[in-house]
Structure 1
Amino acid sequence: MTIVFRVPADGAERVGFAYSPAMEAVLSLHVLVEPKHHPVQHGWVRAMRRLSPALKREIEAFAYAVRSYFPEFLFPRPTGGLRDFREELAALRTADPDLIRLEFAVPLLTPWPDDDGGGRDPRLLHRPDLRERLRALALRDSDPAMAAMLLDDPRALLERFLDMLERYWREAFEDEWARIEPDLAAGVSEAGQQIARSGLYGMLRGLWPEVRSDHRAERFWLERPHDHEVVIGADDTLLLAPSTYVWPHVRVNCDGPWPLGLVFPVSSIAREARPRIPPARLVGILRALADDTRLRALRLIAERPRSTQELAPLVGVSEAALSKHLRVMADADLLERRREGYYVLYRIVPGQVAGLTPGLESFLRHDDDPDDPDGRRHDRPARSD
């Protein structure tokens, strides 16, 4: 099952950018309830042990709504200025109660009943059989009060959710937002530059495998438990929203009245999570040194150049065995050979051993990151992994 978006390859004018403090706060709550999926954010998970017990209980009560789903009313609008957290919550309080009920019901009723790919109809939730099913599922995953609100008072349910979010903001996320907001702004700029250089589909290729794309067919798609095809027409906007807390996922919305689009990992987090391959030269040297016989031979050669015949009895191995060890170190550019009459003498290549520690430290510091040519580290606070 897939959600397909059709956007012209030259349709950059149909793209809008936004990011949101309320959306980031809820995405970070998903990290707290599903930490095993978010190794990059385990530092945040550990830091949130300090939350008050009452707030932890309320987060757990709403865990069903953020564990495998994301309430689409939190997608920011790709127009106008950036709203602050309290402005966003004030706008959410004016939302249609039926749509709010729908968003809290979707994670309980997945797959959605009678889903024909045309969007989810909130009127289905008035059917007696679905109400009874929803009541049973809500009682299983939350408390009786929340189940009653979901069925009969969605505005009260939204108020309870926003109250939990406000408490979370005060206890923890307000300071976190101040730290990550500049990075999100930089993510918007970087994504915009990518689109300017290589088009929308060039930018989307960086989101593989979560997002698959075919620029020739002018479409991109995501595998989801929901079939839907969305055409971004000339009067529509495709929202692209960078996020610090969405990795390794991409969140998508294909149903109005909420903005249509994607929430994708901000580039600095994607770089941090990318598997890093050490330089082949560094690996070769470390492998060459990872043997006690070779290290004993290297220590003797450090005193003065020596031949195989001299080294073998001192190291305690046969000449044939030692020759193999010396060849490994020579292939790693640790040793060089020169002939003196009958003998071939080995000596340490100047600077190779001395340069090992700086080279290793450089790799561990990410100084050789090809995506970071200035040698800047995209550091997170000490609490993060």
Structure 2
Amino acid sequence: MVVRYQLVGQDLGGVRFAISPLNELVLSLHAWRDPGRYPLQLPWVREMRRVRDRLDAELLFALVNDDLWTPDFLTPRPWSPLTRLEDELAAIRGTSPGIVDRDLRLLRGPGELPVPLRGPGVLDRIVAALTGYWELCFAPHWPRMRALLEGDVTFRGREIAQHGLAAMLAGLAGRVRLTGDTVEIHPRSRLEYTRPAADGLTLVPSMWTSSAATPIHPDEPPMIIYLARGLGTLWEPQPLPAPGALAGLLGAHRAGLLVQLATPASSSELAARLGVTPSAVNQHLRALRAGGLLVSARHGRAVLYRRSDLADRLIGH
């Protein structure tokens, strides 16, 4: 089976990359059905199972079928590498009841829908379940996940610059190729359709696919979801390298944190990245901030830390 997207004229310049928190959230439900397909994600899967009783697990489980498909309306095409979950959830709240019903029935096949997916207000219940799932299972790790996805986008952009669009597409799970003006995708499913990509083709890296995937319904905007590079290192504790003189002055852990905080991060993100407890990280962050080497600002529910100008000059020397 094959899905074809036809690029015509300016459409070749309409190939773009984007990152979708909502896509990752929904596609991660595959691991509920078949965790054996995601051996590199087992540390996360084990953690997820510990909080399962605090989630609307019955509804979430119903959003994945035996073929590991999920409803198209829950995996909308993102437009930017900087897409926010809040914006995506706001968009799907506006999905028409007809589209919701179409996609759920396409997912579940003939017959009655599972009980959690029946009745009025099903879209609101789905959004609420996904929100709770995000807060418990994704939010503490999302900065680390996003960094991996952004790294993949950077790599693919370099591939286009050095080797061209066709070579980059051929490297997406080995199931995508550009033939003339047509992008052909061979997903591991029974999908087959051809459609023009007059409004562009979006490439979305993911941690939750084993091959290239496309929307189920041919009316959905052209999109290819593919496996991001570097997944094997996602859950490995990262080292804290630091210049020797700086480590001698501040201690290895605090010097390493300063090096890491060239870009803002929260204490929970740092703890997940380094494989330590948040309390251990907070102790060092408080000391560095008290010494004038960090500044902090609240961003939503999290407090983000970054190096101060003084710390930048210290590391520069």
- Please give the TM-score of this superposition, normalised by the length of structure 1: 0.55
Residues of 2 paired with 1:192 and 1:266: CA distance? 13
After superposing the two structures, state which structure 1 stretch, 60-69 or 11-20, moved more: 60-69
Residue number among 185, 188, 196 corresponding to 1:221 in the alignment: 185
Residues of 2 paired with 1:91 and 1:54: CA distance? 26
1:166 maps to amino acid: T
Distance 1:53 1:208, change over 3 A: closer
Residue number among 143, 153, 157 corresponding to 1:178 in the alignment: 143
Matched, 1:191 2:153: no
Q: Which residue does the alignment assign to 1:357? A: none
Matched, 1:260 2:237: no
2:97 maps to amino acid: P
Q: Secondary structure in 1 aligned to 2:208? A: coil
Contact 1:33 1:60 in 2 (8 A): no
**1:219-258 deviation line (CA, Å, top 9, x unaligned):** 423143132112223xx21010111232x13221274654
Q: Secondary structure in 2 aligned to 1:107? A: helix
Residues of 2 paired with 1:8 and 1:199: CA distance? 17
1:214 Cα offset (Å)? 4.8
Which structure 2 residue ranges, 5 or more long, are not aligned? 235-271, 277-317
Distance 1:59 1:69, change over 3 A: same
1:65 Cα offset (Å)? 4.7
1:17 maps to amino acid: F
Which structure 1 residue ranges, 5 or more long, are not aligned? 110-132, 273-378
Q: Which residue does the alignment assign to 1:324? A: none
Distance 1:382 1:33, change over 3 A: farther
- Please give the TM-score of this superposition, normalised by the length of structure 2: 0.65
Contact 1:12 1:199 in 2 (8 A): no
1:382 Cα offset (Å)? 5.6
Instruction: Tell me the percent identity.
Output: 26
CA RMSD of aligned residues (A): 3.0
Contact 2:6 2:197 in 1 (8 A): yes
Matched, 1:49 2:45: no
Q: Which residue does the alignment assign to 2:196? A: 231
Residues of 2 paired with 1:241 and 1:104: CA distance? 23
Contact 1:33 1:63 in 2 (8 A): no
Q: How does 1:1-385 map to 2 (within 5 A)?
A: 1-7=1-7, 12-55=12-55, 57-59=57-59, 61-65=61-65, 68-79=68-79, 82-109=82-109, 133-135=110-112, 138=113, 142-143=114-115, 145-146=116-117, 148-149=118-119, 153=120, 156-209=121-174, 211-216=175-180, 218-223=182-187, 224-233=189-198, 236-246=199-209, 248-253=210-215, 255=217, 258-269=220-231
Q: Secondary structure in 2 aligned to 1:99? A: helix
Distance 1:2 1:66, change over 3 A: same
1:207 Cα offset (Å)? 2.3
Residues of 2 paired with 1:78 and 1:22: CA distance? 9
Structure (1 or 2) with the larger CA radius of gyration: 1
1:221 maps to amino acid: I
Equivalences, count: 238
1:24 maps to amino acid: E
Contact 1:232 1:238 in 2 (8 A): yes
